């Protein structure tokens, strides 16, 4: 698909895309997803493992990318990790509506999209917790919805911290990943 500059894309367009390519649509603008790096995938795999182990036999489900999240007719994203606690939002394609938690792992090509566009879209959609993981700097920025349904001041964590989550008693560690860039 070659996007037409003047066209606004929708969920119907997303469903018609070639399944061998990964796309996101934000406010009607299509963005092709780059192939993630090895380090990106190691961070994604470790975070997924920790969440999946905790959520086993619980009502919330965790999904790794590619996993479709339809926030609106003109915003369809594929977060690196998605956690959904309301099974009524799930269908065979993915999550229709706001997930409870989303994790995006930065890549050079996704930095602005994850830190600006998606941050705003996740907040507007009511995603309770949004993590932006920087694998190069080994830190996580966590945004949580406050009582005004806005993201409050973000908290930042390093590989030395145990990161609290919206799930009672679950704290996530990046410590097993601290040597990835030291080769």
Q: What angle do CA 78, 32, 19 make, to 5 degrees?
A: 70
Q: What is the pLDDT of residue 18?
A: 80
Q: In this structure, what DSSP letter does residue 90 have?
A: B
Q: What is the pLDDT of residue 182?
A: 39
Q: In this structure, what DSSP letter does residue 87 have?
A: G
pLDDT digits (tens, 9 = 90+) for 13-52: 999 988 788 899 999 999 988 889 999 999 999 999 999 9
Give pTM, 2 decimals. 0.92
Please list the ranges in the chain whose pLDDT falls under 50. Answer: 178-183
Q: What is the pLDDT of residue 65?
A: 95
Q: What is the pLDDT of residue 1?
A: 64
Q: What is the pLDDT of residue 179?
A: 37
3 state DSSP class of 101:
strand
Q: What is the pLDDT of residue 6?
A: 83
H/E element, 137: none
Q: What is the pLDDT of residue 21?
A: 84
């Amino acid at each position: 698909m070659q996007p037409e500059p003047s066209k606004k894309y929708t969920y119907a367009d997303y469903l018609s895309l070639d399944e061998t390519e990964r796309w996101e649509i934000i406010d009607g603008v299509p963005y092709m997803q780059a192939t993630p790096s090895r380090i990106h995938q190691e961070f994604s795999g470790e975070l997924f493992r920790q969440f999946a182990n905790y959520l086993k036999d619980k009502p919330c489900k965790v999904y790794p990318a590619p996993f479709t999240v339809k926030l609106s007719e003109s915003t369809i994203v594929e977060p690196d990790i998605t956690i959904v606690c309301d099974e009524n939002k799930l269908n065979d394609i993915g999550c229709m509506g706001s997930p409870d938690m989303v994790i995006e792992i930065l890549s050079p090509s996704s930095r602005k999209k994850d830190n600006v566009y998606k941050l705003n879209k996740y907040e507007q959609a009511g995603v309770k917790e949004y993590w932006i993981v920087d694998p190069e700097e080994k830190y996580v920025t966590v945004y949580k919805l406050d009582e005004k349904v806005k993201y409050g001041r973000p908290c930042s964590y390093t590989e030395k911290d145990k990161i609290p989550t919206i799930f009672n008693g679950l704290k996530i560690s990046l410590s097993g990943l601290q040597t990835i860039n030291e080769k």
